[in-house]
Amino acid sequence: MAVVRYFAAAQEATGLDTERRPETTLGALRAAVSEAYPGLGGILPRCAVLVGGSRVDDDTPLGADDLVDVLPPFAGG
């Protein structure tokens, strides 16, 4: 199962720092966490979602050792 790390507003929406998820593609993971955490569904489309530190498409397979980071947009300058 992939490990998902939530940051900033995503962490607040889920109430979690990290969790293990069974989904096998990034698209399936996005859909599942949006359903599991309705507050996350509203911000997820604006988040950078990285697999192994890289932006990838929703068809990307997820393996047991994959690290997925959910990074909301940050303000600052």
**Average pLDDT per run of 10 along the chain, which is 77 residues long?**
97 97 98 97 94 97 97 74
Per-residue pLDDT, 40? 96
Going across the sheet that includes 54-55, the strands are 18-21, 2-6, 67-71, 48-51, 54-55
Domain 2-71 has CATH 3.50.50.60: no
The model's pTM is: 0.92
CA 9, distance to chain mean position in Å, is 12
Per-residue pLDDT, 19? 98
**Structure tokens belonging to residue 76:** 């600052």
Query: Would you tell me how many other CB atoms lie within 10 Å of the CB of residue 54?
Result: 7
Per-residue pLDDT, 59? 97
